[in-house]
């Protein structure tokens, strides 16, 4: 095996480790917190329906039922999400593919590179190819038809969460709507800016011969015109 192949494999392993440590594990923890909050809400609602005069055993049985349901829902949801994520990533879905940005060592470096791409600022020396792959990665995800469907599903979920948190008050739901719309507009604006930078980055990468991170073989998500539907 050549030194270049070894370097590429090492970069891939390091990027995967960073993604697990800084994205996947925190996301899983956040999911557990959300499910725990849902469990607490369910427990409160169930106990509120129990006769206040009921004995302790009846209340414990009601609470035990909530615990069993919560554990079943959590186990099934976790299994489905993990299975779907792994399967779709192996099939090469661009939206679930690992971003090339994880090849950078720090969150600050990743943020600075994205900012330079979006604003048209000079790309840090040696990161021209990485910037191009990052922009192509974003463009590939945006071209998929199911991208809009994912956004709509997230909107429904967040609106439902807003209704639960806000109760019958319209202000709670309205607050969630505003936050979601603001985040969605910011994300869309950032993606449009990154995709628009692809021609400039292609020209810049063609003028350079070196990169601070070893280049890896091309993948379907690197090209917006290829990959699974």
Q: Say yes or no to pLDDT of 66 above 70.
A: yes
Position 114 confidence tier, pLDDT thresholds 50, 70, 90: very high
Domain boundaries, the chain: 1-91, 121-215
> Tokens in use for 199?
């021609």
- Residues 42 and 52: their CA atoms lie apart, in Å, by 17
Q: Is 14 exposed, middle or buried (0-12, 13-18, 19+ CB in 10 A)?
A: middle
Read off the pLDDT of each residue in 99-126 and give the average, rounded to a whole number.
89
The residues near 216 (Cβ < 8 Å, ≥ 6 apart) are: 8, 11, 12
3-state secondary structure the chain: CCHHHHHHHHHHHHHHHHHHHHHHHHHHHHHHHHHHHHHHHHHHHHHHHCCCCCCHHHHHHHHHHHHHHHHHHHHHHHHHHHHHHHHHHHCCCHHHCCCHHHHCCCHHHHHHHHHHHHHCCCCCCCCHHHHHHHHHHHHHHHCCCHHHHHHHHHHHHHHHHHHHHHCCCHHHHHHHHHHHHHHHHHHHHHHHHHHHCHHHHHHHHHCCCCCCCCCCCCCHHHCCCCCCC
Closest CA to 121 of 134, 129, 112: 112
- Residue carrying structure tokens 């969630």: 176
Closest CA to 196 of 148, 110, 135: 135
- Kindly report, residue by residue over 17-45, the tens digit of the pLDDT: 888 888 888 888 877 777 777 677 667 77
- Whole-model pTM: value is 0.63
Closest CA to 128 of 56, 67, 202: 202
% of the chain surpassing 70 pLDDT: 69
Position 113 confidence tier, pLDDT thresholds 50, 70, 90: very high
- Kindly report, residue by residue over 185-197, the tens digit of the pLDDT: 888 888 889 889 9
Q: Say yes or no to pLDDT of 54 above 50.
A: yes
Position 173 confidence tier, pLDDT thresholds 50, 70, 90: low
């Amino acid at each position: 095996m050549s030194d270049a192949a070894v370097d590429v494999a090492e970069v891939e392993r390091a990027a995967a480790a960073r993604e697990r440590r800084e994205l996947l594990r925190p996301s899983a923890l956040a999911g557990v917190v959300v499910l725990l909050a849902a469990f607490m809400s369910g427990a409160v609602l169930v106990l509120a329906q129990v006769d206040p005069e009921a004995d302790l055993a009846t209340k414990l049985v009601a609470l035990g039922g909530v615990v069993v349901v919560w554990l079943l829902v959590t186990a099934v949801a976790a299994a489905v999400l993990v299975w779907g994520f792994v399967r779709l990533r192996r099939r090469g879905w661009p939206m679930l593919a690992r971003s090339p940005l994880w090849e950078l060592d720090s969150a600050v470096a990743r943020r600075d590179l994205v900012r330079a791409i979006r604003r048209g600022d000079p790309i840090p020396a040696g990161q021209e190819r990485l910037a191009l792959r990052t922009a192509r990665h974003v463009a590939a995800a945006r071209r998929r038809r199911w991208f809009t469907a994912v956004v709509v599903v997230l909107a429904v979920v967040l609106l439902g969460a807003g209704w639960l948190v806000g109760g019958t008050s319209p202000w709670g739901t309205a607050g969630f709507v505003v936050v979601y719309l603001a985040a969605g507009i910011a994300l869309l604006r950032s993606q449009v800016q990154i995709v628009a930078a692809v021609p400039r980055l292609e020209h810049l990468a063609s003028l350079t011969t070196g990169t601070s991170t070893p280049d890896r073989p091309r993948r379907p998500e690197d090209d917006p015109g290829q990959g699974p539907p």
